[in-house]
Structure 1
Amino acid sequence: MASQIEICNQALTKIGSARITSLADTSKQAKTLAAIYDVKRDAELAAHPWSFAMARSSIPASTTVPAFGWTKAFPLPNGFLRLVEVGENYVMYQSGGGELFHLEGNAILCNEGSPLRIRYVQRVVNAGLYTPLFVEALACRLAAEVAEDMTQSISKREAAWQEWDRAIKLAKRTNAIELPPRPLADGSWWGSR
């Protein structure tokens, strides 16, 4: 299982930079990685519905009703990064063009009954929960982000981005293979056949 420091050191190794012992170090490497780690980690988590970062929640409606357009507002759970599915049957889109919900501010607005069931990508700060391929992709992302600053080399930055592209594709493909197949929802197109 990887740690935050191991991921950062893997990134630094990829660009040929000195390793660190802590993000609290006074070295340029530690300061740079400490400044970007949380934001880049969250960006990589939110970019895909990683199995290890998925969560479910039944959210009670807020006592504050939206001013217009919707009958209820449901506050987003702590650690929320990306909405994946909404509603009783987890139907994301309604055939016929009508909106089922709207994500606005820190709430989901909709006309569903309370509690509202959702699936979402959550912030996972414990690097020990990451899959090995996600660790590799995150390390590549960090390497690409800091390469030019650490090495003054545009070619190292470009090479790091290419390595990230390969790593993220492999991580996403492997994550997708691990998910069970999902049946298609009956819709107007399906019914017309």
Structure 2
Amino acid sequence: MALSAVALCSRALLKLGAEPISSFEDGTAESMAASLLYGSTRDAVLSAYPWTFATAQKGLARLVGKPVADFQYAYQLPPDFLRILSAGEGGRSRGIDYQIIENRLHTDAPAVTATYIFRPYESMFPAYFDQLMILRLAAELCLPLTESTSRAESMLNLAEKEFRKTKSIDAQQDTPQSIEGFNLIEGRY
């Protein structure tokens, strides 16, 4: 069952012993705190690891204006972009030198395919990620709602343990990457 942003926040509030919310506009302290903290918490958790369900590849649109220095071309990043993982050209998604400047990708490549972390809809979150979000939201909401630093630290420790477990589960959704172009390995043959 896919959870909405409000459902994720409600479950986090329940973990704190607070009242769940039915919307971000309930007018309660819980709904106001959840509304203010949800988006940044979601984006931080999504950006912290290359989650398989939040990774995309896309050819980027080259911008007309040239970068001021260092590179020949600038490319528009997608609107759902959170973090770049790699960039490449010629049917490859990695291998070129680039830099993100002013929310644009700068490079010398005349065409770019980017692999990046995007902001998926909550309905795309797998169940193992929902649990991480609930614990991380509980940790973020704890101090503003309970004013207990020890309880907030405890919730953050639980969220960190869940993060490690969730990363392990997500890593099993993909073939492990091999090391390519590494001089020491090539020298053995």
Q: Secondary structure at the match of 2:59?
A: strand
Q: Secondary structure at the match of 1:144?
A: helix
String of CA shifts for 1:80-106, please: whole Å, max 9, x gaps.
Answer: 00001110333357xxxxxx1111111
Pick from 89, 93, 105 the counterpart of residue 90 of structure 1: 93
Q: Kindly indicate whether the alpha-carbon contact (under 8 Å) linking 1:70 and 1:109 is maintained by their aligned counterparts in 2.
A: yes
What is the rounded CA distance, in whole Å, between the counterparts of 2:158 and 2:20 in structure 1?
19
Runs (5+) with no aligned partner, structure 2: none
What is the rounded CA distance, in whole Å, between the counterparts of 2:133 and 2:81 in structure 1?
19
2:149 aligns with: 154
1:186 aligns with: 181
1:109 CA drift (Å): 0.9
Q: Secondary structure at the match of 1:84?
A: strand
String of CA shifts for 1:101-160, please: whole Å, max 9, x gaps.
Answer: 11111111111122x101100112x21110112111111111111112211222221221
2:164 aligns with: 169
TM-score when normalising by structure 1: 0.90
Q: Kindly indicate whether the alpha-carbon contact (under 8 Å) linking 2:94 and 2:114 is maintained by their aligned counterparts in 1.
A: no
Task: Write the letter of the residue equivalent to 1:120.
Answer: Y
Q: Which structure has more RCO (C-alpha within 8 Å, separation ≥ 6)? A: 1
| Runs of 4+ more than 4 Å apart | none
Q: Kindly indicate whether the alpha-carbon contact (under 8 Å) linking 1:11 and 1:139 is maintained by their aligned counterparts in 2.
A: yes
Q: Kindly indicate whether the alpha-carbon contact (under 8 Å) linking 2:57 and 2:93 is maintained by their aligned counterparts in 1.
A: no
What RMSD over aligned residues (CA atoms) do the two structures have, in Å? 1.4
2:117 aligns with: 121
1:74 CA drift (Å): 1.0
1:103 aligns with: 100
String of CA shifts for 1:22-42, please: whole Å, max 9, x gaps.
Answer: 111000000011011111111
Runs (5+) with no aligned partner, structure 1: 94-99
What is the rounded CA distance, in whole Å, between the counterparts of 1:47 and 1:12 in structure 2?
23
String of CA shifts for 1:2-39, please: whole Å, max 9, x gaps.
Answer: 11121001111111111111111000000011011111
Q: How many residues align?
A: 185
Alignment of 1:12-31 (within 5 A): 12-31=13-32
What is the rounded CA distance, in whole Å, between the counterparts of 2:95 and 2:141 in structure 1?
37
2:40 aligns with: 39
What is the rounded CA distance, in whole Å, between the counterparts of 1:42 and 1:85 in structure 2?
19
What is the rounded CA distance, in whole Å, between the counterparts of 1:136 and 1:191 in structure 2?
42
Q: Kindly indicate whether the alpha-carbon contact (under 8 Å) linking 1:84 and 1:119 is maintained by their aligned counterparts in 2.
A: yes
2:78 aligns with: 77
2:134 aligns with: 139
Q: Kindly indicate whether the alpha-carbon contact (under 8 Å) linking 1:137 and 1:168 is maintained by their aligned counterparts in 2.
A: yes
